[in-house]
């Protein structure tokens, strides 16, 4: 594998991302499903690669239209790019105090944690009672719903190395497949829920049928729209602002790497000598990937920048652009190298997990959100539902559909919730530790831990936030239509 071949593989990846964008602009059904260009491009690579075309053209073209080097580069690329995605999450963003975050997003956090931990509860229970005994699936299958749905393609692909080290290589393909089901299902089910909410009067802002503009369906801006992609925080004569921000991301990842290596060293010097079942070392951080620590590195770097008065040099919008680039290339590569054989061999388990994941997300959203969130419960809760089905972008799309002009506090509450939520679920420490913990201790310890977390999240929402929500609705009803806007969340 030469540097030229690696570079060419990246160029081809960019080509298919562009083709995916052209298809999004030209094909109506793709627009109506709001499919990201990266998903379309990845699906094309999958069809034209060894999994589909290669099987049909074997033995003359076993890799389809691509070379073995391209496939190898694309297969390892997600594991590298996921650290970029997580390192950029909090860079350039104001970090609120825990008290302020709790005051703003308490109900939102309760709902988000209930969704994340609920996916573990359902997944682990299915693994223990059905998947392992009936289909001889690995116990680690119980972590795949949260990894694929809440975590999305990035987390699923980023965990591949860990699962391969633990003898569960097919788990990464199943997780990426679930992430694809989640991101498509999140839009389809989400839009259906929004239309249902409008018809039944559960939305406060939308009063007519949901219909996105042509530009929104194509994923383009109108000519009269002005969208700021970022702010120049450095004079290009000194250093290009984009280069500066990429350098900051690199430092954040290096900080995360140092923390991870330190934790692994401490582990080897302390409890790693303890054997489980007589021959398995008690190692956890040896299997933890880099990306959740890269997120922590970004937080640390942001705190340092604030302390030294250099935080104005880090623009969050530019960080979002870097994150978006990494995530797009990651998704194209992850879907393009997905093993259809692994999904086919575990089709029953895959289908059960996919249906269960959608059901638990819809169920928790419809049951819990209207009880613990006061005004705008639908507008605020649909964002968490969308995120729990795929990626944060899915939640943002659904919130934008329900609240196109940002009249509700949905976006603010959702954004601050991410600061508390992301370090743990959806690719955070809980997601990273779940598979090694199941490997070391089995299903039940993690099941009871997640069940406890779920009960705490639901209980706190039910007994603390539910009375506040009811009081808020009563005040709105008493104020009447004219005075309802004066009642704030």
Per the CB < 8 A criterion, the answer to whether 459 and 192 are in contact is no
Per the CB < 8 A criterion, the answer to whether 100 and 335 are in contact is no
- Rounded to two decimals, the pTM is 0.77
Residue 432 lies in a domain: yes
DSSP 207: -
State how far the alpha carbon of 311 is from the alpha carbons of 305, 416, 479, in Å.
Answer: 5, 18, 43
State how far the alpha carbon of 307 is from the alpha carbons of 88, 231, 301, 302, 310, in Å.
Answer: 19, 21, 10, 9, 8
pLDDT at 276: 66
Residue 486 lies in a domain: no
Low-confidence ranges of the chain (pLDDT < 70): 95-104, 207-217, 223-226, 275-280, 391, 393, 404-406, 412, 415, 419, 480-489
Residue 489 lies in a domain: no
pLDDT at 104: 62
Cα 456–462–467 angle (5° rounding)?
Answer: 140
The phi and psi torsions of 280 (rounded to 5 degrees) equal: -105, 115
The Cα–Cα gap between 328 and 37 comes to: 8
Q: How many domains is the chain partitioned into structurally?
A: 1
State how far the alpha carbon of 136 is from the alpha carbons of 81, 128, 440, in Å.
Answer: 33, 11, 18
Q: Which domain holds residue 262?
A: 3-481
Report DSSP letters for 396-430, one per residue. Answer: HHHHHHH-TT--SSHHHHHHHHHHHHTTTSSSSHH
The Cα–Cα gap between 178 and 360 comes to: 14
DSSP 18: H
From the list 431, 443, 435, 447, the residue with the least C-alpha distance to 147 is 431
Residue 368 lies in a domain: yes
Residue 98 lies in a domain: yes
Query: How would you classify residue 231: left for phi > 0, otherwise alpha for psi between -120 and 50, otherwise beta?
Result: beta
pLDDT at 101: 57
Q: How many angstroms from the chain centroid is the CA of residue 34?
A: 17
Residue 119 lies in a domain: yes
pLDDT at 489: 44
pLDDT at 207: 67
Per the CB < 8 A criterion, the answer to whether 287 and 162 are in contact is yes
The phi and psi torsions of 205 (rounded to 5 degrees) equal: -100, -50
Name the CA radius of gyration of the chain, rounded: 23
pLDDT at 99: 65
Per the CB < 8 A criterion, the answer to whether 388 and 190 are in contact is no
Residue 488 lies in a domain: no
The phi and psi torsions of 52 (rounded to 5 degrees) equal: -120, -70
Residue 445 lies in a domain: yes
């Amino acid at each position: 594998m030469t540097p030229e071949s690696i570079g060419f593989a990246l160029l081809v990846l960019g080509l298919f991302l562009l083709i995916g964008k052209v298809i999004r602009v030209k094909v109506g059904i793709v627009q109506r499903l709001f499919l990201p260009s990266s998903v379309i491009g990845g699906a094309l690579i999958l069809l034209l690669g060894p999994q589909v075309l290669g099987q049909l053209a074997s033995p003359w073209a076993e890799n389809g239209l691509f070379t073995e080097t391209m496939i190898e580069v694309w297969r390892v690329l997600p594991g590298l790019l996921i650290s970029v995605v997580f390192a950029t999450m909090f860079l350039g963003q104001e970090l609120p105090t825990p008290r302020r975050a709790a005051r703003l997003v308490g109900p939102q956090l309760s709902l988000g944690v209930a969704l994340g931990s609920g996916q573990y509860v359902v997944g682990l229970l299915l693994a223990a009672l059905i998947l392992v005994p009936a289909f001889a699936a690995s116990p680690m299958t119980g972590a795949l719903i949260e990894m694929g749905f809440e975590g999305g393609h990035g987390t699923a692909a980023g965990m591949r190395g860990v699962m391969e080290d633990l003898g569960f290589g097919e788990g990464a393909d199943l997780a990426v497949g679930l992430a694809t089901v989640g991101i498509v299902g999140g839009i389809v089910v989400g839009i259906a829920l929004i239309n249902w909410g409008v018809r039944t009067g559960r939305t406060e802002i939308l009063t007519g049928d949901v219909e996105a503009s042509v530009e929104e369906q194509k994923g383009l801006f109108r000519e009269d729209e002005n969208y700021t992609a970022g702010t120049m925080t450095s004079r290009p004569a000194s250093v290009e602002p984009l280069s500066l921000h990429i350098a900051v991301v690199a430092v954040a990842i290096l900080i995360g790497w140092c923390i991870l290596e330190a934790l692994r060293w401490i582990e080897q010097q302390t409890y790693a000598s303890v054997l489980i079942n007589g021959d398995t070392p008690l190692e956890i951080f040896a299997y933890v990937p880099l990306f959740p620590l890269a997120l922590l590195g970004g937080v640390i770097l942001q705190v340092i920048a604030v302390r030294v008065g250099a935080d104005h040099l880090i623009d969050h919008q530019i960080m979002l652009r870097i994150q978006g680039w990494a995530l797009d290339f990651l998704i194209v590569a992850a879907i393009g190298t997905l093993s259809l054989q692994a999904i086919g061999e575990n089709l029953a388990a895959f289908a059960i997990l996919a249906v269960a994941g959608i059901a638990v997300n819809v169920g928790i959203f419809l049951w819990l959100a209207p009880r613990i969130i006061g005004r705008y419960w639908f507008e605020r809760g649909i964002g968490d539902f969308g995120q729990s089905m795929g990626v944060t972008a899915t939640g943002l799309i659904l919130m934008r559909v329900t609240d196109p002009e940002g009249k509700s506090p949905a976006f603010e509450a959702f954004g601050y919730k991410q600061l508390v939520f992301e370090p743990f679920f959806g690719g955070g420490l809980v997601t990273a530790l779940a598979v090694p913990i199941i490997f070391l201790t089995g299903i039940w310890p993690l099941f009871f831990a997640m069940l406890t977390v779920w009960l705490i999240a639901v209980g706190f929402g039910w007994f603390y936030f539910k009375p506040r929500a009811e009081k808020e609705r009563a005040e709105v009803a008493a104020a009447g239509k004219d005075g309802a806007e004066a009642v704030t969340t």
